[in-house]
Amino acid sequence: MAVQDGWTGRFFEDFEIGDVYKHPLGRTVSEADNTWFTLLTMNTNQMHFNAEYAAKSEFGKPLVVSTFTVAIAVGQSVTDLTQNAFANLGWDDIKMTHPVFAGDTLWSESLVLDKRESSSRPHAGIVTVRTRTINQDGDEVCSFKRMFLVYKRGAEQVEGIFPEGKRPLTLEAEQDR
């Protein structure tokens, strides 16, 4: 019997300057997503939830809230970048370069720009990336630079967090059920 760990994410040592990670999950934005996000964040700009108001704009329909687009981009990147991070240090140079509408599907990718050891935390390093999000047509809709603290491989903070089951999960145990 072999126990195989699931994807545990990248650690500081795994990042190489110049690497590009194409984050695996696309996300189609719905009208409900946009409405809920405006309500949750108290964004009262009618361009995001009033179709009559938005119809009079140059876009002719509601825009997806830009902070929702950024949130999707960050979320899409977690599996590749920050599964083992414990602090975001900042986002810089955020650009919204193309409108996003309900029905658009967003994909994100990140380029590793820099990495360095943390001077105050020997169990971690600092990684800087440029993330961009594109829509289904390949148009870049947003981009930003992000810096985060990520654990090094073997850091005690990430060891032993998966609990042991009270009974083993094996073929033999399954046959005894």
**pLDDT of the chain, 177 residues: tens digit per residue:** 677 777 889 999 999 999 999 999 999 999 999 999 999 999 999 999 999 999 999 999 999 999 999 999 999 999 999 999 999 999 999 999 999 999 999 999 999 999 999 999 999 999 999 999 999 999 999 999 999 999 999 999 988 888 888 888 888 877 777
Our count of domains for the chain comes to: 1
Which residues, listed in sequence order, are joined to residue 106 by a DSSP beta bridge? 27
List the structure tokens of 86: 């414990």
**Position 83 in a domain:** yes
**Position 92 in a domain:** yes
**Position 173 in a domain:** no
**Position 6 in a domain:** no
Which residues, listed in sequence order, are joined to residue 144 by a DSSP beta bridge? 131
**Position 115 in a domain:** yes
What are the start-end ranges of the E strands in 67-123?
Answer: 85-96, 105-117
Backbone angle region of 142, left / alpha / beta, with phi > 0 → left and psi within -120 to 50 → alpha: beta
pLDDT, residue 128, reads 98
Q: Which residue range(s) make up the domain with 140?
A: 19-152
**Position 167 in a domain:** no
pTM value is 0.89
**Position 12 in a domain:** no
Torsions phi, psi for 78 (to 5 deg): -55, -45
Helix H, strand E, coil C: the string for 123-166 is CEEEEEEEEEEECCCCCEEEEEEEEEEEECCCCHHHCCCCCCCC
The domain spanning residue 142 has which CATH number? 3.10.129.10
**Position 73 in a domain:** yes
